[in-house]
Amino acid sequence: MAKCDEGYLCQICGEEVSGITQSDLYLRYVIGLVDPETLHLQQERHIKCNPNLAQFIDVDGFRNLAAEEGFEKENLDSGFVEKRTELLTRGFKRLLELRKNDLPITEYPLPEFHSKYA
């Protein structure tokens, strides 16, 4: 099978990342951690395969994941945890919205990150 026919494979587990709501890459993009100019160069992962990030998503139905030892949110500064949880939760909700919309990729990020890369 040609590389382009394989879909986007998770660099951690090797399985296909089958949708935007499973994509760690697009989650990081919508919250401003990935420059759109380098989006196509980044490795893909499932959100569940990056528990250090996923632990901050606070959405009903999203399975709480344990982070690597030493990086659990319980061991981090409470102010940082609060801000990170707010951002990652908003980012994940944005992914849920995006799966229902046909927007250009430049419109994917949260509003405060549009001007960051303009």
Cβ–Cβ under 8 Å, residues 26 and 20: yes
- Measured CA to CA, the distance from residue 65 to residue 30 in angstroms comes to 20
Contacts of 71 (CB under 8 A, 6+ apart): 52
Reported as a pLDDT band with limits 50, 70 and 90, residue 2 is: very low
Quote the pLDDT of residue 69: 83
pLDDT digits (tens, 9 = 90+) for 46-93: 999 999 999 999 999 888 778 888 889 998 999 999 999 999 999 999
DSSP-derived letter for residue 44 is P
